[in-house]
Amino acid sequence: MVFKNAAFWQLVILYLALACSYASGDQSVKTGPYEIHYTAFSSMLVPADTASTLGITRAENRILINVSVRKGDEPAAVEVQGHALTVLNQTQPLTFTQITEQTAIYYLAELINHERDWLRFKINIQFHSDHPPYALEFSRQYY
């Protein structure tokens, strides 16, 4: 998807970035020249009008996973795939959607979580260069 109203999307991305940092502690890792930012947070933190525009379902049991990659000061387009695992090793695939705006590229996935649980996220990031893929793993507890 490519969105053209840059000012609107900059506000949306700013809100998502702040919400992500507040909700679960924005994380980042560096691999070679790339910096990967990632977080997972409740879809209820996204304003209703923004969720509608992005096609996100807001619900108490929905989690958003946000991944973005930068190479220096520039956003980097990548391929993102992954899944989440519950404590009982039940696997839920993650389908990432690319959101592109003038100064950033984000990859969002939605996940339904029906109960309190620790979720382990395993995300594979494939770069469009000679850089090897990166296996990102992190955990979050949801109530």
- Looking at residue 22, what is its pLDDT? 44
- Looking at residue 1, what is its pLDDT? 47
Average pLDDT, the chain: 84
Are 134 and 71 spatial neighbours (Cβ–Cβ below 8 Å)? no
The neighbouring-strand residues paired with 134 are 125
Alpha-carbon dihedral 56, 57, 63, 67, rounded to 10 degrees = -10
How confident is the prediction along the chain (143 residues), in pLDDT tens digits per residue? Answer: 445 555 555 555 545 554 544 444 568 999 999 999 999 998 999 899 888 888 889 998 899 999 999 999 999 999 999 999 988 888 999 999 999 988 899 999 999 887 777 899 999 999 998 899 999 999 988 76
pTM across the whole model: 0.78
Write out pLDDT tens, residues 50-66: 888 888 899 988 999 99
Write out pLDDT tens, residues 84-97: 998 888 899 999 99
Domains in the chain, ordered, with CATH?
Answer: 6-142 (2.60.40.3340)
Closest Cα to residue 82, out of 71, 69, 70, 92? 92
Write out pLDDT tens, residues 73-83: 999 999 999 99
